[in-house]
Amino acid sequence: TGFTTLDYGFVNTAATKSSITYIDGDEGILRYRGYPIGELASGKTFLEVAYLLIYGELPTAEQHADFDQRIRRHTLLHEDLRRFFDSLPRDAHPMSALSSAVSALSTYYEDDHDPHDPESVELQTVRLLAKLPVIAAYAHKKSIGQSFLYPDNSLSFVENYLQLNFGLQSEPYEMNPTMVRALEQLLILHADHEQNASTSTVRLVGSTEANLFASVSAGIHALSGPLHGGANEAVLQMLRGIRDSGEGVQRFVERVKRKEKGVRLMGFGHRVYKNYDPRAKIVKEAADDVLQALGVQDELLDIAKELEQVALQDEYFIERKLYPNVDFYTGVIYKAMGFPERMFTVLFAIGRLPGWIAHWREMIADPQTKIGRPQQLYVGPTERHLP
Ligand code: CMC
């Protein structure tokens, strides 16, 4: 149309309408389909919230039972896909393994990936929800050299994941209800966040009518970066760095403020929240409770709290409205649960999956959807010719 606005990072440009998630960044409000995040996190299961995001309403008891059963029926991976992990290097990052295996999933279901066939979309939805935790657990087992377990469909979604992840073939896995509930809550907190980078990626890829597996695989890669979901792993590395170097919180914060190359306060700041991230508030409270219930003491939690306190009183952070985000305290909890750092972002991906699916489906169903195709301002040479 002859008029192009330059908007690095899409700070001001909406690419779609959406009725899934509402955020008020100034007030620190987050709601899924109208329900405040705090209510959902304390009173619902992850699958109920997944249903809410994808279908728009909380499930009735009957709908919930049906959804849960359908997911349980699809947990098994094709044996060849199980063996797919053999071809990856032992030290593959679990996020790369996760994305690769989800991408490979599309090769198993090529006959029914039509984005405009509702039955096929429904099947892909259930398959992905059922199989991602299994793939995630195998990515973990692969990285520690342990054999893979088969899913146990008598277990709930979260229980199954924990058993696949921590269980051993040689001994029964003892379920810890504190861990189950805490993980359920953390997954809910991550389940959607409107047009973040990975969701926007899923939508952009999906706008070409590529299938759901391909779109989600791309979303997982987008999530892996340290400025996005990868921040939870980066926070732990930062906290360990502060502890091991002995430099102290104050000196570290000074380096952040001097903008030393590569030094940011990870787990702080957000494009949308200019007030406390409501998820971070819930996670911070959970961190104390979970560590206590699991009988774990971790000096990294003390360092995190000190860091938060110092930053919140400092002009640099006040001026720029930088507060802890969801990733600041999650790593400490995952660590207490026994997850290695490289698995933290994988947990984020499992949590975010219902959001990605909900957005992909909303986009496919929206008659206004067009292929995503940003503009540019060309700043290269004007016309020139070969000598
Ligand atoms: N530490 C130090 N300074 C920061 C930080 C930080 N974590 N975040 C922003 N700033 C400064 C930035 O240097 C800039 O300063 P100045 O105005 O002097 O140039 C100002 O604050 C504005 O920052 P920005 O980079 O323009 O903000 P953005 O909206 O583009 O970036 C962000 C948002 C989340 C990428 C960024 O805050 C950041 O890098 N945070 C650390 C990584 C992180 O925790 N990411 C997780 C985000 S929440 C969950 C998720 O999406 O996965």
**Chain-centroid distance, C-alpha 115:** 23
Ligand 1 in reach of 268 Cβ (< 6 A): yes
Ligand 1 center–CA 188 separation, angstroms: 24
CB distance 199 to 64 below 8 Å: no
pLDDT recorded at residue 172: 87
Mean pLDDT of the 209-213 span: 94
Tell me what percent of the chain is helix, strand and coil, each rounded to the nearest 5. 60, 5, 35
Mean pLDDT of the 370-378 span: 95
Q: Average model confidence (pLDDT) for the chain?
A: 95
108-120 pLDDT, tens digit per residue, is 988 777 889 999 9
Higher-pLDDT residue of 3, 182: 182
CB distance 20 to 362 below 8 Å: yes
Residue 2 to residues 13, 34, 69, 375, 377: CA-CA distances in angstroms? 17, 38, 53, 11, 11
DSSP β-bridge partners for residue 168 = 171
Ligand 1 in reach of 99 Cβ (< 6 A): no
Mean pLDDT of the 270-283 span: 94
Q: Is 270 a catalytic residue?
A: yes
Residues contacting 337, CB < 8 A, separation 6+: 179, 182, 183, 290, 294
Q: How far apart are the first and last CA of the chain?
A: 35
The residue nearest atom 18 of ligand 1, judged by CA position, is 320
Alpha-carbon distance of 47 to 172, in angstroms, equals 25
CB distance 219 to 345 below 8 Å: no
Q: Encoding tokens for residue 149?
A: 């377990």
Alpha-carbon distance of 202 to 190, in angstroms, equals 16
For the chain, the domains span: 231-337
Ligand 1 in reach of 222 Cβ (< 6 A): no
pLDDT recorded at residue 1: 54
pLDDT recorded at residue 113: 77
Ligand 1 center–CA 227 separation, angstroms: 8
In this structure, which CATH number among 2.130.10.10, 1.10.3720.10, 2.40.50.1020, 1.10.230.10 belongs to the domain 231-337? 1.10.230.10
pLDDT recorded at residue 262: 87
User: How much is the pTM?
Assistant: 0.96
Q: Encoding tokens for residue 282?
A: 């819930």
The atom number, within ligand 1, closest to the CA of 277 reads 48
Statement: residue 11 has pLDDT above 90: yes
Among the options 113, 193, 270, 359, which is catalytic? 270
Statement: residue 3 has pLDDT above 90: no
